[in-house]
Amino acid sequence: MSAQKLPAPMARPALVAEDPQIAALVEAEEARQREKIRLIPSENYVSRAVLEATGTVLTNKYSEGYAGKRYYEGQQIIDQVETIAIDRAKSLFGVDHANVQPYSGSPANLAVYLAFLNPGDKVMGMALPSGGHLTHGWGVSATGKWFTPVRYGVRAETGRVDMDEVREIALAERPKLIFCGGTAIPRTIDFEAFASIAAEIDAVLVADIAHIAGLVAGGAHPTPVGHAAVISTTTHKTLRGPRGAMLMSTEEHAAALDKAVFPGLQGGPHNHTTAAIAVALREAAAPEFKDYAAKIVSNAATLAGALTERGFDLVSGGTDNHLILIDLTNKGIAGKPMAKALDRAGLVVNYNTVPDDPRKPFDPSGIRIGTPAVTTRGMGTAEMTAIAGWFDRVVTAANSGDEADLDQIGKEVKELTAGFPVPA
């Protein structure tokens, strides 16, 4: 997905004519994504091909069921689209089975619960403040209300998962399902160690690779295949596809997962999204995607090093993947005001809890940043260093109330982004 050979922006004459208000907002969002540096690790830019597939007449067709076993007629084309997406997922990740119908990551994880658990059964996952996900059994989620959550975290002194501690908790609690992975984990996930623990207590291991799927596909992170019986992922983030999800598994669990997705949790799949997933998977199988995945990781390492040099406290001391979690306590500013100051300066992040955070989730101590989107735009070492410098200036400006410098940084950011066109 070259940033140098780009077609003209997509025209929307019908939308402009029918609903100029929404058309104007779409155009404004295009400008925002073009002019700012997007550092939220769960966001990216899709290719023009993925974008075009998402906006096709496939959205007009209802397709409850699976290929060859639908509840509506007229599936001759849709069956082919879904089968192609499935085959590409199986080939790219090397799995026995793939389901491309889940609407997003959370419904995909709910389908896993439906496939393997009864209400009240124990599920083990990383605690949300430590980097886990809501759907891994956190209290405010249905998964924490309808099932009995068992949680593990990270060591305060290292910011990393202690697998001996995970094993002790698992042996004591005997959960039926174990999730590994999460939403704010800057280090490599030890799938083999998790698999050994799950086997010891006869639990099903689920690898949630929503954040790192593109890195796994590109060979920049170890694969859970061969270790986890079930793999859940979104199709955007580092995989650079549309907003959707997939479930993958060994053949043993294929039928249970398919039944849980449909008819267990949802009706007809979003066929336009399925087509876009197929396109993204084809792109991820190309040799240049491996270069992209490796560049994401190297950019993150460069950015982490430059931030550390400027006195930022990185959870776990750095990163192995696309994601950096920063504890701002030593900078005298909380995550939320820092995120808002950064946004004004043209640097888009999200505020985030850090391990053992004494502050509330809506006003936490940290921010979470990542490099998928900036890497898609072609940014590299020099730009990562510049970003770290701007972070340092934003802290000073935010703490002193220097709004003029925030605006000045915003101008500098806009000048930089002008040299890195947005795909599609």
Tens digit of pLDDT for each residue in 180-221? 999 999 999 999 999 999 999 999 999 999 999 999 999 999
> Rounded distance, CA 338 to CA 37, Å?
15
Domain endpoint, select from 262, 284, 306: 284
- At residue 2 the predicted structure's pLDDT band, cuts being 50, 70 and 90, is very low
Nearest Cα residue to 400 out of 331, 353, 310, 307: 331
What pLDDT does residue 6 have?
Answer: 40
CB-facing half-sphere around the CA of 273: CA atoms within 13 A: 18
Residues 259 and 192 occupy one common structural domain: yes
> Rounded distance, CA 210 to CA 206, Å?
12
Query: Has 45 been annotated as catalytic?
Result: no
Query: Has 291 been annotated as catalytic?
Result: no
What pLDDT does residue 1 have?
Answer: 52
Q: Domain with 339 in it: what CATH number?
A: 3.90.1150.10
Give residues with Cβ within 8 angstroms of 2, minimum separation 6: none
Provide the number of structural domains found in the chain: 2
Residues 256 and 321 occupy one common structural domain: no
pTM of the model: 0.95
Mean pLDDT of 243-272: 98
Give residues with Cβ within 8 angstroms of 352, minimum separation 6: 184, 325, 335, 364, 366, 367, 368
- Kindly list the distances between the CA atom of residue 253 and the CA atoms of 46, 87, 204, 382, 405, in Å, as whole numbers in the listed order: 31, 17, 10, 47, 56
Query: Has 363 been annotated as catalytic?
Result: no
Mean pLDDT of 262-283: 98
> Rounded distance, CA 260 to CA 2, Å?
39
Asked, for residue 43, whether it belongs to a domain, the answer is: no
- Which amino acid, 307? L
Mean pLDDT of 30-49: 98
Percent of the chain with pLDDT over 70: 98
Residues 295 and 397 occupy one common structural domain: yes
* Burial (0-12, 13-18, 19+ Cβ within 10 Å), 282: middle
Question: If you count them, how many residues does the chain have?
Answer: 424
- Does residue 278 have a pLDDT over 50? yes
Residues 265 and 335 occupy one common structural domain: no
Asked, for residue 271, whether it belongs to a domain, the answer is: yes
Residues 271 and 311 occupy one common structural domain: no
Mean pLDDT of 1-23: 73
Domain coverage including residue 229:
57-284
Query: Has 392 been annotated as catalytic?
Result: no
What pLDDT does residue 148 have?
Answer: 98
Nearest Cα residue to 249 out of 83, 66, 86, 64: 86
What pLDDT does residue 11 have?
Answer: 78
Residues 277 and 294 occupy one common structural domain: no
Angle, CA of 18, 24 and 28, to the nearest 5°: 155
Mean pLDDT of 46-58: 97
Say if CB 227 and CB 192 are below 8 A apart: yes
- At residue 4 the predicted structure's pLDDT band, cuts being 50, 70 and 90, is very low
Query: Has 162 been annotated as catalytic?
Result: no
> Rounded distance, CA 406 to CA 103, Å?
38
Which residue out of 243, 290, 310, 359 is catalytically annotated? 243
Q: Which residues pair with 351 in a beta bridge?
A: 367
Residues 74 and 186 occupy one common structural domain: yes
Q: Domain with 107 in it: what CATH number?
A: 3.40.640.10
Which residue out of 52, 64, 392, 402 is catalytically annotated? 64
Mutual angle of helices 403-417 and 381-400, in 10-degree steps: 160
Residues 312 and 280 occupy one common structural domain: no
> Rounded distance, CA 261 to CA 105, Å?
12
Percent of the chain with pLDDT over 90: 96
- Does residue 136 have a pLDDT over 80? yes
Residues 294 and 270 occupy one common structural domain: no
- Does residue 5 have a pLDDT over 60? no
- At residue 10 the predicted structure's pLDDT band, cuts being 50, 70 and 90, is low
Domain endpoint, select from 267, 284, 301: 284
Query: Has 252 been annotated as catalytic?
Result: no
Which residue out of 36, 38, 88, 237 is catalytically annotated? 237
Neighbours of 291 (CB within 10 A): 12
Residues 272 and 296 occupy one common structural domain: no
Which residue out of 27, 35, 62, 359 is catalytically annotated? 62
Tens digit of pLDDT for each residue in 320-333? 999 999 999 999 99
Residues 79 and 98 occupy one common structural domain: yes
Say if CB 246 and CB 99 are below 8 A apart: yes
The chain-wide mean pLDDT, for the chain, equals 96
Asked, for residue 380, whether it belongs to a domain, the answer is: yes
Which residue out of 54, 135, 143, 234 is catalytically annotated? 234
Which residue out of 151, 183, 208, 295 is catalytically annotated? 208
- Does residue 400 have a pLDDT over 70? yes
Nearest Cα residue to 237 out of 305, 182, 288: 182
- Does residue 401 have a pLDDT over 60? yes
Task: DSSP letter for 261, please.
Answer: I
What pLDDT does residue 47 have?
Answer: 97
What pLDDT does residue 424 have?
Answer: 77
